[in-house]
Amino acid sequence: MGIIMTGITIALSKGRIFDETAPLLKAAGVIALDDPEKSRKLILATNRPDVSLIIVRASDVPTYVQYGAADIGIAGKDVLLEHDGTGLYQPLDLNIARCRMMVAVRDDFDYEAAVRQGARLRVATKYLHTAQEHFAEKSMHVDLIKLYGSMELAPLVGLADAIVDLVSSGHTLKANHLKAVEEIMPVSARLIVNQAALKVKREVIQPMLAAFSEAAKKNGMPRQKWIHNDGNMLL
């Protein structure tokens, strides 16, 4: 028999996003009762009986929110751009888990010359949609190769000329004799909300959104106003 959850459900992924979300949750009055890195539970209770956390793969967060299995989620901009986004509000940039989407190549590869000469490049990435749009805007011809991990290996073994991936410190690129040659966009985590939940559970969700907004403001982002598609101000 399945578990039926009432109240508000928030979808999160383990690792950096969960760690940097914890202070925002605390500001909203929500504290997880288990550490997802230590617990095998996928549904975590909190200090609030009306709020549960579900731990899912980062790329699955938008799907859980889109189909209503979670009311709220936190996902990186990179994930959201690869996701269809139907049925989601993306009201707030939380200004956490910041990094950059970059094009990187081997240290000895002349990327600028390849671009000037109109060379057709092989690019390895898990961000096919983002990469395709980026190179199309530059009128570059590329063959995209879908990979799910160890992206830095692709140029080293001749699988690809370049990669498109997230870069934080750049240490991994340097350790593998790669260099970042082009920034596609800055990336940070966003708050996403299921449209139906926002209507049905408005009285519970709205104060939580306001708390997230204030916490994000302290992270350096200005307070944001959200407008529902019916024209009503949410904050």
The string of DSSP letters for 7-56 reads: SEEEEE-TTHHHHHHHHHHHHTT--BSS-TTT---SEEEBSSTTEEEEE-
With CA atoms as reference, report the closest residue to 196 among 183, 184, 205.
205
The per-residue pLDDT for range 57-108, each reduced to its tens digit, is 999 999 999 999 999 999 999 999 999 777 688 888 998 999 999 999 999 9
CA–CA dist 11, 201 (Å, integer): 16
> Which residue from 227, 208, 215 is spatially nearest to 72, judged by alpha carbons?
208
Distance between CA atoms of residues 77 and 66, nearest Å? 15
CA distance 93 to 190: 5
What is the phi/psi pair of residue 150, to 5°? 50, 45
Return the higher-pLDDT residue of 24 and 223. 24
Q: What is the CATH number of domain 8-97+188-218?
A: 3.40.190.10
pLDDT at 158 over 60: yes
Q: Would you list the domain boundaries of the chain?
A: 8-97+188-218, 99-186
Question: At residue 181, does pLDDT exceed 80?
Answer: yes
The per-residue pLDDT for 224 is 43
Q: Do domains 8-97+188-218 and 99-186 have the same CATH topology?
A: yes
Pairing of strands 8-12, 72-76: parallel
In the CATH hierarchy, which top-level class contains the domain 99-186?
alpha beta
**For the segment 200-222, what is each residue's pLDDT rounded down to a tens digit?**
998 889 888 888 888 777 765 44
**From the CB of residue 195, how many other CB atoms can be counted at a distance below 10 Å?**
16
Contact 224, 31 (CB under 8 A): no
What gap in Å lies between CA 33 and CA 2, rounded to an integer? 21
pLDDT digits (tens, 9 = 90+) for 109-124: 999 999 999 999 999 9
End-to-end CA distance of the chain: 39
Stronger pLDDT, 206 or 225, i.e. the higher one: 206
Instruction: Tell the burial category of 69 from Cβ atoms under 10 Å away from its Cβ (0-12, 13-18, 19+).
Output: middle
Q: What confidence tier does 4 reach under pLDDT thresholds 50, 70, 90?
A: very low
Minimal CA–CA distance to 127: which of 147, 110, 112, 108?
147
pLDDT digits (tens, 9 = 90+) for 18-63: 999 999 998 888 999 998 888 899 999 999 999 999 999 999 999 9
